[in-house]
Each structure stands twice: as C-alpha cells, then as structure tokens.
Structure 1
Amino acid sequence: MKEILDFLKLLKKNNNREWFSEHKNEFKALQLEAKSFYDQVRQGLEEEDEIDNFKLFRIYRDVRFSKDKTPYNPHFAGSFSRKTNRLRGGYYLRIRPGESFLAGGFWAPNKEDLFRIRKEFEFGDEEIRSILSEENFKKYFNGELVGDELKTAPKGFQKDDPAIDLIRKKGFVAVRKFSDKQVLDTNFLNEVKDSFLALRPYFDYMSEVLTTDLNGASLID
C-alpha cells in the first residue's frame, strides 16, 4: 500500500498527461495491486452479505463541466453494490493520500425512495436512532449519518417533527475517514471489513423500509 500512496502523491503533484504517460507502466502495476486489495474487501463482504457487482473507478477525470482541468484522479476508488432489489444500500472505498475514507448507505436516493424514507422517519424514528446508537456504529461512524440537507422541512413535513434532523437530509450515508498511517497499517483490511460489517443492521432496516409501504405490505414480487 505504501507504493500506492507514494505514486498517488506524485500524481497529485504532476497531474498532467506527459508525466502520467512516462509512468503508465508503474500505474498499471499499482492498479493491479489496488484491484487485488479491493477483491479481498469483496471477499470479506461476501462472507456476510450478497454482493452483486464491484466497480473500480477510472483514474481519468471527466473535465468537460469542471473548472478543474487536471486529467487524473489522484486516488483509487471502488464501489460494491448489493444483490437483487431486496437488498438496498452500497459500499464505497477511496484510497487517497491524506483523504482516504469508506462510506455506505444511500448517496442520492430517487424521489420515491427519498419520500418513503422520510415518511418512515416521520412515522417513527425510534428504530433508526437505536441503530445509529449501536456500539459498532458509534465506534466506526460516530453514530451519525452525513449528507446534504435542506435548510427547512421538506414540503408536506412539519418543522417541529422530532425526526426533522433526519427528514431534512437528502442522502443518508455513514462515513469513516482514514489517515495515511491507518491505511498503511497491517490491519487496514480488517478495519475496512469491520466497518462495512457495522453497516449491516442499518442496511437491513433500510432495505425493509424501501421494500414495504407504511403498513408493512411488500412492494416487490
């Protein structure tokens, strides 16, 4: 992992096509090493969950609509999606010098899912708060969900609802950041696995919410 971080640091300082072309063989070798690490993460996930797909994101940036025209992402990033429409939520891991993190949850739920989640919290927030206060969720994710929020209550919801702090959210994601020292630690892989495992009660709850109506009737065949 040290070689990966060292290369990414150099890429950040030399984020241009000329430098990258000169070091492309080195990049390809380290990309294989990163892919191997992500494969190990997937194997760990599959011991406890059903994973449908893994995607290692491209190093090349889409700069068409960005003020930042640097052509490369100085990081490796990958996502793991869960199988079938019964299992909701996804896992994400980024390795970047000084800015590594993993995350899991619902980044940008569609309009229907977002409304369903908000209605569930309006109906009752005891279960979700119990999950967020579990020992492992607090240990790895500080007992909180992060994401963009509305400044006030969404249309149709009350500003003084006891769950308004959750209802105002536009995404429901748990995030754990890692220092370079932690990434280089021999236990990093286990820390990633354990962090993702801590999300399971949350994913199980949200999967049930998103596959049933407020009366508990299934929405899937």
Structure 2
Amino acid sequence: MNYFTKETFTFLSALKRNNNKEWFHLNKDKFEEYVRNPFLKFIVDYEPYLNKIAPQHEAIAKKSGGSLFRINKDIRFGNRDEPYKTWISAQFRHNKGKDYTSPGFYLHIEPNQCFFGAGIWHPDTLTCGKIRKSIFDNQDDWLKIKNKKSFKENFEMKGNSLKKLPKEFLDCSEVEIDLIRKDFVIDHLLTKEEIMSPDLLKKIIKLTELSSDFVSFLTNSVGLKFK
C-alpha cells in the first residue's frame, strides 16, 4: 500500500510557508489524513518485522509517547514564531534505553530531505566513551561491519567529530576516524518517489536488516542487549 502521497509533501511544504498556530489548526484535518495517520499505519506494519530483526527495539504507534515524534517544536530551543517542525519523523529505540544512551533506527520525511538512519546521535560523554572503547577493543569486528559491501553501498557515516584523537587511543590508525566521532550514525537518502511507493515498507525493512549489525555493535557497546 501507499502510506504517503504527494499530499503529504504538499502539506509539509505549505506548513513551512505558514508556520503558525492559526494556519495549522485550520488545516489539522489534512495533517491527520496525509501525515500523521499514514505514519502511524506505517509503524503498525513495520513493528512485526522490526521485532524479528531487533527484538529489543520498539515500534510504538501512538500519537504521543510512542515512536512518532511530535510535530510541535520544543520552543525552549527554537524560534517561538515558528512552533512546528516542517518534517515528520519516527525513532525506533531500545526498550530500556533513553534517547541519548540507546542506538536505534530512524525515518525522516521532509520535502527536501528524506532518509533512513541508524545509530546514536549526540550521546552523552559516558555513552560516547563506552562506544569508543568498544571500537578500540574490538577493531576487527567493527571494521568487518563497516567494510561489508552491502553496508558501504547503502550507508554513509554522518555526524560531528573531535579535532584530535583522545590520548588513550593512540596507534590505532585503522579506526582512528571512528574514535574521534561524537556521533555514531549512518543514513541512506530516500527520494520522494520511494517514500510514496507501495514498496516503502519493503525498502525500510531491507535497510533495517542491512544496518542491524551496526546497531547491534553499538547497542552491546553501551551495555544493552540487541537480541
């Protein structure tokens, strides 16, 4: 089935031009029909497949408090005159982890940027240290995951890095680029056509499978079980 349609992108583009409460409330029925409800349906259908691939990670189809992020911005950290995000996204994280301690999977839909992501974004200092140590102690396993052909063909590492290598990790040139990372995330760009395709679920399941070893390594590194 098609979860998302051209009306999904039309609404999000219009929201970018009319980012205010008055316009949003006048058009909330379109948000429900073309944006939120289709994403909730996707999450329902994705859940059994995610459960097979990563049993400890959750796909929870709830308007609030589940996998789907709210459309409302946190105005404490943004422009109060633009109260809404102009994208819709969902995070599928570990059932015992918090945002900053738990690697997971992610789907982002925005008119000019759609992508599937996996890993952990902006972990706290303690969590980041655990991951770096695990990479240092298990370099062969880490490189095997990163250098796998299907992984390299489908994903790109993203995120911020330190300016120099921490002194406790000297003489490890093969993984040096990863030991200075502050984010451990990968992404796969998706076109609007792929988002609107009836094969979207199949595509995301495949990307979840291909990134599962990466997420498993990170999950075990922070002291959680992947399976």
Q: Which TM bucket (shorter chain)?
A: 0.7 to 0.9
Equivalent position of 2:220 in the other structure:
208
Residues 152 and 168 of structure 1 are in contact (CA less than 8 Å); yes or no, is this contact kept in structure 2?
yes
Consecutive unaligned residues in structure 1, runs of 5 or more: 213-217
Structure-2 residue corresponding to 1:215: none
Q: Distance in 1 between matches of 2:112 and 2:190?
A: 8
Give secondary structure in 2 for the equivalent of 1:199: helix
Q: What's the counterpart of residue 29 of structure 1?
A: 33
Q: Decide whether the 8 Å contact of 2:15 with 2:24 is kept in 1.
A: yes
> Which residue of structure 2 lines up, in the alignment, with residue 149 of structure 1?
161
Deviation readout 1:28-82 (Å, 9 max, x if unpaired): 2232122111222223212322134532111111223324731111221111122
State the one-letter code of the partner of 2:172: D
Q: Deviation digits for residues 17-36 of structure 1, max 9, x if unmatched?
A: 22112111222223212211
Match of 2:63 in 1: none
Correspondence 1:62-73 to 2 at 5 A: 62-67=74-79, 69-73=81-85
- Equivalent-residue separation in structure 2 for 1:17 and 1:205 (angstroms): 43
Pairing partner for 1:115 from 117, 123, 129 = 129
Q: Which has the higher helix share?
A: 2
* Mapped contact 1:53–1:82 kept (Cα < 8 A): no
The match for 2:17 among 9, 13, 18 is 13
Deviation beyond 6 Å, 4+ runs, structure 1: none
In structure 1, distance between residues paired with 2:107 and 2:12: 16
SS in 2 for 1:92: strand
The answer to whether structure 1 residue 82 and structure 2 residue 94 are counterparts is yes
Report the equivalent of 1:139: 153
**Is this contact kept in 1: 2:20–2:81, CA < 8 A?**
no
- Two-structure CA RMSD over aligned residues (Å): 2.4
**For the residues of structure 1 that align with 2:8 and 2:126, how far apart are their CA atoms?**
40
Does residue 40 in structure 1 map to residue 51 in structure 2?
no
Partner in structure 2 of residue 4 of structure 1: 8
Would you say the 8 A contact 1:116–1:210 is kept in 2? yes
Distance 1:20 1:206 in 2: 39
What letter is aligned with 1:94?
Answer: H
Extract unaligned runs of 5+ from structure 2.
61-66
Residue 164 of structure 2 is aligned to residue 161 of structure 1: no
Amino acid corresponding to residue 43 of structure 1 in structure 2:
P
Q: Of residues 141, 144, 147 in structure 2, which corresponds to 1:130?
A: 144
Q: Partners of 1:47 and 1:123 in 2: how far apart?
A: 29
Q: Quote the sequence identity (%).
A: 25
Q: Distance in 1 between matches of 2:17 and 2:196?
A: 21
Amino acid at match of 1:98: N
Residue 26 of structure 1 aligns with an amino acid whose one-letter code is K
